[in-house]
Amino acid sequence: MPVIRSGSVSRGFASSITKSACLPASGADQGGSGRGVVAGPGAPGSARYLRDAGASAQVVSLVAYHSCAEIEAGVRGLGAELAAEFSPGDPVLSDALLYCDMTTGPTATTCA
């Protein structure tokens, strides 16, 4: 589960990251665990879980495509399902979320 470190991303993104990316970061793995199992595996399941919980379309899109999730979805045979059900999120926020995800370890330690 990615941990958002908005302070390490340029100040221009900080408010958008705080408002739009913290929920995907905390909910990104919900589709594959606990109640989220009903929503399905991987990014599509996580996005469905958040959509059903009332998250905004932007947040749902960020989760559906977070950290190159379309590649994993393709490997799992879910690529067409992902593309048919969800649109990619805002590219600037997606890149910021990717950066935070790829530079933060599972215990919130900095990796880069």
pLDDT in tens, 35-82: 444 567 677 888 899 999 999 999 999 999 988 889 988 998 888 989
Tens-digit pLDDT profile for residues 76-111: 888 898 999 999 989 999 999 888 888 888 787 887
Asked whether the whole model's pTM tops 0.85, one would answer no
Which residue has better confidence, 86 or 26?
A: 86
| Measured distance CA(101)–CA(79) in Å, rounded | 21
Average pLDDT, stretch 18-32? Answer: 46
